[in-house]
Structure 1
Amino acid sequence: MPLSVAITLARRSRLPALARLAGGLVDATRSVPFLAVIYAAAVVLPIALPSWLEGDRLSYVIAGFSLHYAAYQSEVLRGGLQSIPRGQFEAAEALGLTPWKRMYLVVLPQAFRISLPATINEIVTVFKETSVIAIVGLFDLTASAHAAFEEGSWNDQFMEIFVFVSA
């Protein structure tokens, strides 16, 4: 959620470069299927990143997962922000609040309340899509079973290995 708020605020920024960058991120993320993001995070990122940024495959997948759904949630929050009447912004400005306090104390709580139904829908979608991450673990599990067969000492336990991998 914090990443989606940051993307939403960047998209509404008065700095054109920041707004375009955030808009491009959201548009690019929404045009790529989720499974492609997971595969890219699991396979392409470990190859493309420099050696000093190496990590395990699961952390790359979680980062891709988080970025993907933060972009979707930022669109939900952007809709909530756009539905707030202009008078609320002006009232917060009339109180003498700084721009960050206006956003934090007046505008964002109303935007969260307005976008709550769509946010719950996104949370349900995130919960359902977490099972796709298991595909990444399946590659590691299958590779481990293959390595056990190649070792030779596990050849007489082939049935147990097949049952374990298939479960």
Structure 2
Amino acid sequence: MAVYTLKEAQPAPSSNRGLFFWLRENLFSDITNSFFTLLGCYIIYLIVPPLIDWMIIDATWTGTKEEIVKSGARWIFIIEKFDQFMYGFYPEALHWRPNLVLLLCAAFIVAMKYVQHMKIKIAMILLLPVISFILISGGWFGLETVETEQWGGLMLTMIVAAVGIIASFPLGIVLALGRQSHMPIVKSLSVGFIEFVRGVPLITILFMASVVLPLFFQDGIDFDKLLRALIGITLFQSAYIAEVVRGGLQAIPKGQYEAADSLGLGYWQGMILVILPQALKISIPNIVGSFIALFKDTTLVLIIGLFDVLAMVTLTTSDTNWLGFEVEGYVFVTMIYWCICFSMSQYSKSVERKFNTEH
């Protein structure tokens, strides 16, 4: 009877593992790949060190405008105007209110991850916008009223983007279902709205919301400028969300619709419980891409007299005491936009991994 002895597993050859193996496989696999790798390293060498010198090493962080002697970035301008970049013309003594809203939003995101009860989640989703509006605008519970003309900076950018995203998402789903509907009137209205909105630029929608919309109201009715912009942005974004969701609906196999019918589910039950969860999962990358585009498009509110964070840079650099600081302002705003958009992209990837069922 043969006797077998187990041998210890030997480590992989050093040429097939480790950093050098990864470099050889990914960056220096052939002559062409090696050439572009070296070219990329040279371009990085030309760009990154001077950028670091300008932004950090030779930068001016403290002092006054007259004391600047270095040739790097003059971040004292950002420090001096930081409150305007963040809050616009919001009263300084009341900055605690938008700061509290920011903390509530962070707590809401954490709570949504750990709270499992659906009714509690729905209550939180409905209460957060109401509480946030009361805190920022005031006029309730003894809070001082702050008119929307005083809102601005990054606070206004976040408000416009958040309202546009939250409000356009369910409206876009309804429009997508309407476009897929077999009822001629519903389908025609949905198609007409979507194609009309997608056929005009956002700047036109904002002008219509700011100038044309008040014409439909009686004389003496003061329709808030910010509210008009929010309505226009929501309607604009909902048309694009509708097309994204429609693409997800068309990707669902016909057998899923038949499965919902075989379970005795009605139209809305089948859509909510079977079809839409799958369609939205497929559409996550495109939905988040649309939200990122909306966040960047919020800069267009400047044309109707609202001062978002980018508009505040233009406004503050026109100050005669701080002329010539446009570069630092635009670099600062660029970093803000990149950080927020990158965070949204990374969050969408985590959501995709969470709902990935292909394994």
Fold equivalence (TM over 0.5): yes
Q: Any residues of structure 2 matched to 1:114-133 within 5 Å, and which?
A: 114-133=282-301
1:76/1:115 contact within 8 Å kept: yes
Aligned residue runs from structure 1 range 33-44, under 5 A:
33-44=201-212
Given that 2:245 and 2:279 are in contact with CA atoms closer than 8 Å, whether structure 1 keeps it comes out as yes
Show the counterpart of 2:245.
77
Taking a change above 3 Å as real, the CA distance of residues 96 and 61 of structure 1, as seen in their structure-2 partners, is: same
Count how many residue pairs are aligned between Structure 1 and Structure 2. Answer: 145
**Paired position in structure 1 for 2:195:** 27
Unaligned runs of 5+ in 2: 1-168, 308-315, 327-359
Indicate which of 97, 100, 103 corresponds to 2:265: 97
Of structures 1 and 2, the larger Rg is shown by 2
Q: Which residue is 1:157 aligned to? A: none
Identical residues among aligned pairs (%): 39
Q: Separation in 2 of the partners of 1:56 and 1:122?
A: 26
Deviation digits for residues 120-161 of structure 1, max 9, x if unmatched? 11011011011111322259xxxxxxxxxxxxxxxxxxxx9x
Q: Deviations over 1:22-61 (max 9, x none)?
A: 1000000011111111111111211343348651121111
Structure 1 portions without partners, runs of 5+: 140-159
Cα distance in structure 1, aligned partners of 2:266 and 2:186:
21
Q: CA deviation at 1:163?
A: 2.9
RCO higher in structure (CA 8 A, sep ≥6): 1
Task: Select the structure that is richer in helix.
Answer: 1
Q: TM-score, normalised by structure 1?
A: 0.79
RMSD: 2.3
Distance 1:50 1:10, change over 3 A: farther
Asked whether the 8 Å contact 1:46–1:57 carries over to 2, the reply is no
1:147 alignment counterpart: none
* Aligned: 1:107 with 2:299: no
Runs of 4+ in structure 1 over 2 Å off: 47-54
Match of 1:6 in 2: 174
Range that drifts further, 54-63 or 102-111: 54-63
The residue that corresponds to 1:45 in the other structure is 213
Q: Distance in 1 between matches of 2:188 and 2:218?
A: 27
**How far is the alpha carbon of 1:15 from its aligned partner?**
1.1
1:65 matched residue in structure 2? 233
Match of 1:163 among 319, 333, 342: 319
Whether contact under 8 Å (2:226, 2:306) holds in the other structure is no
Asked whether the equivalents of residues 8 and 75 of structure 1 are also in contact (C-alpha less than 8 Å), the reply is yes
2:202/2:236 contact within 8 Å kept: yes
Hey, what's the Cα distance between the residues in 1 that align with 2:222 and 2:170? 25
- Which amino acid is 1:125 matched to? A
Equivalent AA in structure 1 for residue 265 of structure 2: L
Give distance in 1, aligned partners of 2:286 and 2:251.
13
Report the TM-score, using the length of structure 2 for normalisation: 0.38
Find the partner of 2:186 among 18, 24, 28. Answer: 18
Whole-angstrom CA distance in 2 between matches of 1:124 and 1:130: 10
SS at match of 1:115: helix
Amino acid at match of 1:24: G
Secondary structure at the counterpart of residue 195 of structure 2: helix
Query: Given the alignment of the two structures, is residue 87 of structure 1 paired with residue 255 of structure 2, yes or no?
Result: yes
